Amino acid sequence: MKKGIVAVLVILAIVVIVSPGILGRLAEKSVDENLNWAASEQGDVVVSSDSFDRGWFSSEGQHRIEIKGGNLGAMLMELSGPGEPLPVLVINTHLDHGLIPFSSLSRENGSLAPGLGSAVSTLSVELGDGATVDIPGKIFSNVALGGALQSSYQIEPGSRSDGHKKAAWGASKIDVTADAISGNVDFAGDIQGVTFSERSESLVIDSLTFSGKQAPTKYGFSVGDMTMQLDGMSVSANGVEAGGIKSMRVDGHTKLDGDRVGGRTTFKVASQALPMFGDVTVSGDVVLDGANARAIGDLSAKMRALGPGADETQTFAVIENDLKHLLASGLEMRFDQLDVASPMGAVEMDMRVKVSERDTDAFEWSSLLLATEGAANLSVPEALVEMALAMNPQAGAVVAILLQKNGDVYEMAAKLEKGLMTINGAPIPIPLGAF
């Protein structure tokens, strides 16, 4: 019995001593795979490894993440100014490896959880002029035995100032689990108390939470769930509030059913008081059903390749065939709810558009109207209509055509079927030649 126990202890000792060196190589590969997978998902990002100094029990590495064109690059270019080099994100990582990473216990958030490695990373931004700005917070990561990367970005409360520019933030945390093999991503975040100010202008975000799960598809986009809750965002100038949001919640879900994709998004946004209207709340429920997944993927890929600022004529020429494919395959879009509530009453609307499936090769834009069915219902409070007429008397002709008074509201019921549109039962000519 004693010999058996000793043998087990010797084997365990060998595992603890030898495994860090072996798993260090696997952990290095897994970290690189996850970073490069994330870059390939973004499409406009290039990841390079500046160094990876591997030790037996721990290693040090540095990765650079650069933006190369695309929508994200264009946005950063606008912020940096034309001709200015784009900033580079630099990630410095300390990795403790081993089936049981004992060396991690000497640092913050160390863990003995089995895996390929346990890491802590710090972030900085390298500006075009060579200056480096440290980003607050640290990323604590664990590389599981299967290669999945679990990361937690944690920020302690703090503040910074640079001349007239100031920033302050509360405790925040963002958790991400990414699997480089399956491509699945789970994420959740809680961001508290962020303030940006410059001279007399300021932006304040009270809190922002979000969570979701995403899975890639063979069509070049991901599907899954996402929830976001924003509790208070305000903009002020000279100490006076210039607008903002009291609260906002968005819930979205997309799924793939064979070669068809569908989804549903609900949202509710309560704004700060608006001039002449007071507090306004916008609520929506949007549904997409039966869209061709391959056509959506092809459209997305070509739109990304075009980038922002592309000429409209050029854009349409590039995406026309894929857009035809999407519409010829049939789909349905519904706005089950699109309401705007204010002290003057609520504007309520719902709408449905369904395009029937037909032969893509025989598709002509002139036939799209004949293959489309739709319906829309609108209700507008009398007080809002009277305000619109008082501000613009010429709107009376439009109101007379589109709306019918029913008690203290004006209503509209529109239908489209076989190329014929009716509004409140009256036919409305549609110039088919325009299509």
pLDDT value of residue 249: 96
Average pLDDT over residues 161-183: 84
Q: 186-206: per-residue pLDDT in tens?
A: 989 998 888 888 888 888 889
Contact assessment for residue 215 and residue 230, using Cβ atoms and an 8 Å cutoff: no
The β-bridge partners of 412 are 378
Question: Residue holding tokens 């409209």?
Answer: 312
The residue ranking higher by pLDDT, 107 or 316, is 316
pLDDT value of residue 147: 63
pLDDT value of residue 116: 60
Question: Residue holding tokens 């449905």?
Answer: 352
pLDDT value of residue 32: 61
CA distances from 196 to 60, 231, 238 (A): 34, 17, 14
Give the start-end residues of each E strand in 105-162.
117-126, 132-143, 149-155, 158-162
Q: Indicate if the pLDDT at residue 168 is higher than 80.
A: yes
pTM: 0.77
Average pLDDT over residues 63-81: 64
Contact assessment for residue 385 and residue 407, using Cβ atoms and an 8 Å cutoff: no
Contact assessment for residue 157 and residue 170, using Cβ atoms and an 8 Å cutoff: yes
Contact assessment for residue 44 and residue 67, using Cβ atoms and an 8 Å cutoff: yes
Count of CB atoms situated within 10 Å of the CB of 410: 20
The answer for residues whose C-beta is within 8 angstroms of residue 92's C-beta and 6 or more apart is 60, 61, 62, 121, 122, 123, 124
CA distance 128 to 108: 32
pLDDT value of residue 258: 93
CA distance 223 to 216: 6
CA distance 270 to 249: 9
Contact assessment for residue 142 and residue 121, using Cβ atoms and an 8 Å cutoff: no
Q: 345-362: per-residue pLDDT in tens?
A: 999 999 999 999 888 777
Query: What are the DSSP calls for 7-56, one per residue?
Result: HHHHHHHHHHHHHHHHHHHHHHHHHHHHHHHHHHHHSSEEEEEEEEEE-S
Which of 25-29, 127-131, 307-311, 316-320 shows the lowest per-residue confidence on average (mean pLDDT)? 25-29
CA distance 27 to 114: 12
Q: Indicate if the pLDDT at residue 7 is higher than 50.
A: no
CA distance 270 to 207: 15
Tokens of 68: 């190369």
The answer for residues whose C-beta is within 8 angstroms of residue 140's C-beta and 6 or more apart is 108, 109, 119, 120, 151, 152, 154
Q: Indicate if the pLDDT at residue 227 is higher than 70.
A: yes
Q: Indicate if the pLDDT at residue 256 is higher than 90.
A: yes
pLDDT value of residue 10: 39
Average pLDDT over residues 370-374: 90
Q: 270-283: per-residue pLDDT in tens?
A: 987 777 677 899 99
Which of 178-182, 229-233, 323-327, 375-379 shows the lowest per-residue confidence on average (mean pLDDT)? 178-182
Tokens of 384: 């809002």
DSSP one-letter code for 84? P
The answer for residues whose C-beta is within 8 angstroms of residue 22's C-beta and 6 or more apart is none
Q: Indicate if the pLDDT at residue 8 is higher than 50.
A: no
Contact assessment for residue 144 and residue 178, using Cβ atoms and an 8 Å cutoff: no
Q: 231-244: per-residue pLDDT in tens?
A: 988 888 877 776 78
pLDDT value of residue 167: 87
Confidence of residue 55 (pLDDT cuts 50, 70, 90): low
Strand 409-417 to 172-178 pairing: unpaired
The residue ranking higher by pLDDT, 112 or 69, is 69
Tokens of 49: 């490894």
Strand 260-271 to 345-355 pairing: unpaired
